[in-house]
Chain A
Amino acid sequence: MKLTKAQALVLIAISVPVAIELRTVAGFFNVELPLIAVAVIEFLFLALLFVLYGLYGEGSESAA
């Protein structure tokens, strides 16, 4: 299945609440996650999404 721009945009939107609440979830396990760590994780997610879009996005040849 191709990853469309709209799907990528929705995934980015959904990642925002997940990133914001990541520290709360980590807190349940007594892990104090600094804000910068959350920013890095979100950045890595966006980078991954960017790569996936390049590989499987609309217009890419490798898309099924």
Chain B
Amino acid sequence: MATASGGDEFVDKFPDEAAIIKASFLIAFVSLGIGAFFGLIQALHRTNVFRVIDSADYYTVLTGHGVLLAIVFTIFFLCGVFHWAVARSLDRPAESALFSWAWVGLMTTGAVLATVAILGGFVPNLGMSADVLFTFYAPLQAHPIFYIGLAMFIVGTWLAGADWFLSYRAWRQEHPDERIPLQTFMVLTTMIMWYISTLGVAVSVVFFLIPWSLGLIESVNPLLTRTLFWYFGHPIVYFWLMPAYLLWYTVLPKLAGGRLFSDPLARVVFVLFLLLSTPVGIHHQYLDPGIAEGFKFIAMTNTMFLLLPSLLTAFTVVASVEHGARQRGGEGYLRWLGALPWRDPAFTGMALAGAMFAAGGFSGMINAGMNINYLIHNTLWVPGHFHLTVGTAVALTMMAGSYWLVPQVTGRKLYSRPIGLLQVIMWFVGMVFMSNAMHRAGLAGIPRRTAEPQYQNFEFLTPIGSIFELRVQIALGGTLLFLSVVLFLFNILLTSLGEESDRPVDSYLPEPLSGPEGSPRILDNLTMWTGIAAVLVVLAYTLPLAGIIQNGGGLFGGGLPVPATVSAGVDLVLTTVTSAFNTLWGVVA
């Protein structure tokens, strides 16, 4: 791993890259602010604590919250981190600053268009809305600008990936026999996964949803758009997570005072994510008709295998952090925890994010299991799960990482470490309240994706406590989370407005305890891993997609409002009931 020592700061060494990263972070943080505000409105509205919008507008807010946080904030931030990681670890600038600005510009334009379409939902006279939720598949339809914006955004990410691959290619020509630096290896494997997985959403948006929203085609095959969405919709989870993993593997051990335990193990983890991230999306469709149970089972098996890289990460990162603590004088079985740098918000935020990710992983196992999924499917349990994963493991890591990265790319000292520490603690506590209550409410059967989760003449029951307590927890959690975001943005804003510093942070990253020379060279064979990943996708998706197209009225649905398999099922039931009734009538008569 290439290193940069203090006094040779990133912003001085790579000023063009620093400008790109700052622009990416700026858009990410603006999205974070708006998305978090929408989250507060949702939390207070759903729990009926305080309502400032009509329930009909709830879905506009929900879509804005999902798209701005789960797509715009996370992906812009990760693009900034990846740009930093590639330049830093290859120790070279991007091949063309103009090309880098091109993907920033394209992504920004796409994000603005999608956001305008979403916000148009607040102004009915405008004739523009995109109340299709984060899961933007048919039959819900958005204004074409929403889909066009998303398509531009995705193409922008592809160009960003190309930027990093070009840097790698140039580096490789000068270093033909060297191992790929770890951070660049992580970026490249993540991007290969992203290229494979975004094919699904690109096909869905470009060939079906845009023509449909423009009125060029009459109908679409809803199950096909849904399956293509989830083909991308679960791998995007790993697109969020892998930058967090990059920070956990390469930055967190340094902040703890130590070194990464094993570079080879980190490479294995990222290869496993590349292979297994994409052929899993059908696990979101256990209750969908038109997909054979066997393929649902394959998706479940692949998903369970994904626990392996996460568990490897947990052990490797904790071992690295423990090593750091012992370097700082920590002793004993658990007393070493006290030697960690808890004053540092970058460390504390990442550590707490990792701890909550463990809980998110456990609830994810419930989601992934075919049989037990039926218990929590489409209940509030599911948002509880992803508020632990993307909402905490990823978002909190990104905010904590900012406390270390923003000074590097701005050349300014962090405005306030105590405020940063309070902010990450507040996020942790707020998310404990929110996600705990969501999981419990899901077990009680409370649905997700609705402004009015209560039913007339029906009471949800909890084995312990009451629904009222859960609602209070969600509202309290949402409020703490919003306040945490306000503190974060305040701290980052004042940091970027502060005076320049000669040494804003110690940006040096130490070598791993076990370096890349200990890992087989085949791990760096990205072509081979890409091929295997593609084969796994073909095995998992070819037959289900063929069945969906064949039974669902073709590629464009053939005017059918629902997949044909459902109609066939209804017909079968009707035929059976009619014949049974006729038989009974014959006996009676």
Chain A residues within CB distance 8 Å of chain B: 1, 4-7, 9-10, 12-13, 16-17, 20-21, 23-24, 27, 32, 35
B464 adjacent to A9 (CB under 8 Å): no
A21 adjacent to B436 (CB under 8 Å): yes
Which B residues lie within 8 Å of A17 (CB)?
A: 432, 436
A6 adjacent to B343 (CB under 8 Å): yes
A4 adjacent to B436 (CB under 8 Å): no
Which B residues lie within 8 Å of A13 (CB)?
A: 352, 425, 428-429, 432
Contacts A13-B352, A35-B465 given; does A6 touch B342 at CB 8 Å: yes
Complex CA–CA separation, A16 to B425 (angstroms): 11
Contacts A1-B335, A24-B464, A27-B463 given; does A10 touch B342 at CB 8 Å: yes
Which A residues lie within 8 Å of B343 (CB)?
A: 4-6
Distance between A55 CB and nearest chain B CB, rounded to angstroms? 15
Complex CA–CA separation, A10 to B421 (angstroms): 9
Complex CA–CA separation, A9 to B342 (angstroms): 9
Interface membership of B348, Cβ < 8 A: yes
Which B residues lie within 8 Å of A23 (CB)?
A: 464-465
Describe A's contact surface by its main secondary structure: helix
Complex CA–CA separation, A1 to B332 (angstroms): 13
Q: What 6 A-B pairs are tightest by C-beta distance, nearest first?
A: A6-B342, A6-B343, A17-B432, A13-B425, A23-B464, A16-B432
Distance between B430 CB and nearest chain A CB, rounded to angstroms? 10
Q: Which of B425-461 contact A (CB under 8 A)?
A: 425, 428-429, 432-433, 436
Complex CA–CA separation, A21 to B65 (angstroms): 28
Complex CA–CA separation, A9 to B424 (angstroms): 11
B432 adjacent to A20 (CB under 8 Å): yes
A10 adjacent to B425 (CB under 8 Å): yes
B342 adjacent to A20 (CB under 8 Å): no
Complex CA–CA separation, A41 to B425 (angstroms): 21
Complex CA–CA separation, A5 to B344 (angstroms): 12
Interface membership of B289, Cβ < 8 A: no
Partner of B469, one of A4, A21, A35: A35
Distance between B352 CB and nearest chain A CB, rounded to angstroms? 7
A20 adjacent to B348 (CB under 8 Å): no
Distance between A44 CB and nearest chain B CB, rounded to angstroms? 19
- Sample (9) of A-B pairs whose CB atoms are under 8 Å apart: A1-B335, A1-B338, A4-B342, A6-B342, A7-B342, A13-B425, A13-B432, A27-B464, A35-B469
Distance between A7 CB and nearest chain B CB, rounded to angstroms? 5
Complex CA–CA separation, A8 to B463 (angstroms): 33
B352 adjacent to A20 (CB under 8 Å): no
Complex CA–CA separation, A64 to B326 (angstroms): 19
Complex CA–CA separation, A2 to B236 (angstroms): 43
Which B residues lie within 8 Å of A21 (CB)?
A: 436
Distance between B326 CB and nearest chain A CB, rounded to angstroms? 14
Complex CA–CA separation, A4 to B429 (angstroms): 19
Distance between A38 CB and nearest chain B CB, rounded to angstroms? 10
Which B residues lie within 8 Å of A7 (CB)?
A: 338, 342
CB-nearest residue of chain A to B426: A13
A9 adjacent to B429 (CB under 8 Å): no
A9 adjacent to B421 (CB under 8 Å): yes
Which A residues lie within 8 Å of B352 (CB)?
A: 10, 13
Complex CA–CA separation, A27 to B348 (angstroms): 32
Knowing that A6-B342, A7-B338, A9-B425 are A-B contacts, what are 8 other residue pairs whose CB atoms are under 8 Å apart, sorted by A's residue number? A5-B343, A7-B342, A9-B421, A10-B348, A16-B433, A20-B432, A27-B464, A32-B464
